[in-house]
Amino acid sequence: MTKAPIAGNRTGRKLGQKVKKTKLKASSRRWLERHINDPYVQRAKLEGYRARAAFKLLEIDEKHNILKGARRIIDLGAAPGSWSQIAANVTGSTDADVRVAAIDFLEMAPLPGVKILQLDFLDPEAPEKLIEAVGGTPDLVISDMAAPTTGHQKTDHLRTMHLCEVAAHFAIEVLAEGGHFLAKTFQGGTERELLTLLKQNFRQVVHVKPGASRSESVEMFLLAKGFKGRKPATAEEADEQDR
Ligand SMILES: C[S@@+](CC[C@H](N)C(=O)[O-])C[C@H]1O[C@@H](n2cnc3c(N)ncnc32)[C@H](O)[C@@H]1O
């Protein structure tokens, strides 16, 4: 069971530490203090995850059961790679039989069983490259993408929502029937059109706020479960699906 970590110091570091007043700006000092005192950061270190974000996915899975049975997973906005670590683990992915494809425009250190693309997901070539990299039809598309911040809240919000929409269209294009789509979104920010699209294509659509997602953050996750499948566009495609 994924329990919220309790304040402890199994990493050898006490919680509640203060950062000395040095040349750091007050905002940077506050960030650093929050980071080193964050029990999820300490637990990620302890359990070998590259980021505290691991616990968001694990908590969502605990409640909604999306990882079990996944054979191929595509991870969008994957760096530094904690979701990919989990994905490789649940799919049993290895370098000889790769079942996880990850994309990020930032560099990401190699992970066994994960094909990493250093590319903008909005690049027109990204969808094809991801499908090629994952080696078959994925049954899970997960996206933790957030647009780099500009400092202008509304712009940042719109850009992340755009990423979420493009990811949703991608998931509908590539998922296997019965598959799931999970994406980062913002509180109150999911467009009605996107929700309608997801409800048309998935059996269940819910918003989730895992405990590991900081309460002061407007971050939420949109989970669409049970992809209903693509309708064949042509008679040939219908024949193909029947075979
Ligand atoms: C919150 S981090 C992901 C953390 C990751 N889930 C983990 O567990 O380690 C969001 C990532 O999305 C990436 N990102 C944002 N926009 C992107 C885009 N258009 N294409 C590819 N990656 C993008 C960022 O570079 C960043 O690394």
Same domain, 27 and 140: no
**Domain of residue 166, residue span:** 53-227
Say if CB 138 and CB 175 are below 8 A apart: yes
Residue 236 Cα to ligand 1 middle (Å): 38
Predicted pLDDT at 243 = 57
Same domain, 154 and 35: no
Say if CB 114 and CB 77 are below 8 A apart: no
pLDDT tens figures, 133-169: 999 999 999 999 988 888 887 888 888 899 999 999 9
Nearest CA to ligand 1 atom 24: 77
Average pLDDT over residues 70-83: 98
pLDDT tops 70 at residue 98: yes
**What are the angstrom distances between the C-alpha of 132 and each of 70, 83, 127, 182?**
18, 20, 9, 21
**Does residue 238 form part of some domain?**
no
| 55 or 5: which leads in pLDDT | 55
Predicted pLDDT at 231 = 75
Same domain, 147 and 70: yes
Same domain, 128 and 82: yes
The response to whether residue 78 sits with its C-beta less than 6 Å from ligand 1 reads yes
Residue 163 Cα to ligand 1 middle (Å): 10
Contacts (Cβ under 8 Å, ≥6 apart) of 174:
74, 127, 130, 131, 137, 138, 141
Mean pLDDT of all residues belonging to the chain: 87
Average pLDDT over residues 72-94: 98
The response to whether residue 238 sits with its C-beta less than 6 Å from ligand 1 reads no
Say if CB 72 and CB 139 are below 8 A apart: yes
Ligand 1 binding pocket mutation candidate from 40, 75, 103, 104 (most atoms within 8 A of CB): 104
Sheet with 219-227: strands ordered across = 114-118, 100-104, 73-76, 140-143, 180-186, 219-227, 202-208
Least trusted range by pLDDT, from 4-13, 24-33, 183-192:
4-13
The response to whether residue 122 sits with its C-beta less than 6 Å from ligand 1 reads yes
Check 184, 199, 209, 231 and give the catalytic one: 184
The response to whether residue 145 sits with its C-beta less than 6 Å from ligand 1 reads yes
**Does residue 234 form part of some domain?**
no
**Does residue 239 form part of some domain?**
no
**Does residue 237 form part of some domain?**
no
Same domain, 99 and 170: yes
Same domain, 193 and 95: yes
Residue 26 Cα to ligand 1 middle (Å): 26
**Does residue 30 form part of some domain?**
yes
Same domain, 195 and 124: yes
pLDDT bracket for residue 30 (50, 70, 90): confident
pLDDT bracket for residue 11 (50, 70, 90): very low
CA angle 45, 31, 210 (to 5 degrees): 60
**Single-letter code of the amino acid located at 118:** Q
Query: Which of 14-18, 31-35, 81-85, 155-159: highest mean pLDDT?
Result: 81-85
Same domain, 216 and 157: yes
**Does residue 11 form part of some domain?**
yes
**Does residue 197 form part of some domain?**
yes
Same domain, 186 and 138: yes
| Number of domains observed in the structure of the chain | 2
Same domain, 115 and 2: no
pLDDT tops 60 at residue 7: no
pLDDT tops 60 at residue 2: no
Same domain, 93 and 5: no
pTM listed for this prediction:
0.86
231 annotated active-site: no
**Does residue 241 form part of some domain?**
no
pLDDT tens figures, 208-229: 999 888 877 788 999 999 999 9
Q: Which residues pair with 75 in a beta bridge?
A: 102, 142
Same domain, 12 and 70: no
Residue 235 Cα to ligand 1 middle (Å): 39
Q: What is the CATH number of the domain that holds 198?
A: 3.40.50.150
